[in-house]
Amino acid sequence: MISDGWTIMPCKFSDLKSLVEAKISRFPFEKRRVIAACSGGVDSTVLFGIFCELLKAKNIFSLELFHFNYGLRGEESVGDESFCRDLAQGAAVPFLCARATNEQRETHQGEGVQEWARRLRREALMKLGSSGSIVALAHHADDAAETVLMRMMRGTSLATMRGMSEWDGIWWRPWIRVPKVDIIAAALDRGMLFREDSTNEKLDYSRNVVRHRVLPELLRLWPAGREKLLDLADDAHAVASYALLKALGDASFKLTADEKSMSTPTCRRASLVELPEALALAVLAHMAQSTSAGAWKQLSRGNLLKVLAASKAGGQPRFVLELTKGLFLEVGTEAVRSFPSST
């Protein structure tokens, strides 16, 4: 059985299906296009299998399978694409595939491989997604807990500690509160085939170290630690969102669009510096997020502090800092604004 919040082992395929079905019943899915992102791994393969059954039962009315081939693992990558194509053909649903170019593989733009891969996949899905589309992702509770731990250790704010949410625009993660072990149990229960990514076992990536060493040890000490960690991140996000809303009002935050439809957020400099530091930094981060540059997720707290210090400095007529590639914050005489390099 599956409880309202957390799953209890043993978990069957039908249990996960019932969980997703219950979620669908609470949202207007009728006639909406559902794109299931599938790597061929156990998580996304099980999720696609569940959507196939829901399509047959007419709980959803449109389903497509999307796969991104990064081309980083030679024959393994070819095999993953072939496996996902077979899944789509077997279910008689459209198969959508995007592939990384040689140029994209050669230039990671200073990103790690995993960050690069996630960005490419998201960009490709954004091009496919249209108004009314839903992109279903198979992120689970272990993924979310890993993200929280990594963000806490790298440095983050209360608002961004959570990292993953069930709904984020067109993105839907139906089992963000389901542990990985339950998904594996569901796959074994149904006897499903899936692909194994050999790089998931390598400890060259920080996420893999957290996944295979850090998180298991924490859960051995505190078996309920996964859900407690995610509850804390959810609470932090809620409190931070409430505080940010008030801080934006206090700082006279405004969002306007120019003739090129570029978003230009501004706030009153004198009001910004009166806020507590944590809230002032949250306002600056929100301004960066509100631009159309798209690089705000790699913001540095150190850079935000530099902008805040410039805002507080007397006699500083203008200060411009590139927060991350193509994204700027400018401190003027009266106002602070964020803008992309194209403006």
Rounded Cα distance, 238 and 111, in Å: 30
299 φ/ψ angles, rounded to the nearest 5 degrees: -65, 145
Looking at the DSSP bridge assignments, the partners of residue 324 are 327
Tell me the per-residue pLDDT of 300-314, one tens digit each, with 9 for 90 and over. 788 889 999 999 997
The yes-or-no verdict on residue 2 having pLDDT over 50 is: no
Say what percent of the chain tops pLDDT 70.
Answer: 90
Name the strands in the sheet holding 319-324, side by side, starting at the edge strand that comes first in the sequence. 254-257, 263-268, 335-340, 327-331, 319-324
12 φ/ψ angles, rounded to the nearest 5 degrees: -105, 160
Domains, the chain, in order of start with CATH, read 13-233 (3.40.50.620), 251-340 (3.30.465.60)
Tell me the per-residue pLDDT of 270-301, one tens digit each, with 9 for 90 and over. 999 999 999 999 999 888 888 754 555 667 78
Taking CA 161 as the corner, what is the angle to CA 168 and CA 151, rounded to the nearest 5 degrees?
A: 115
Rounded Cα distance, 15 and 9, in Å: 10
Sign of CA dihedral 23, 27, 28, 34: negative
Rounded Cα distance, 13 and 49, in Å: 9
Q: What is the DSSP letter of 129?
A: -
The yes-or-no verdict on residue 147 having pLDDT over 70 is: yes
Tell me the per-residue pLDDT of 40-66, one tens digit each, with 9 for 90 and over. 999 999 999 999 999 999 888 899 999
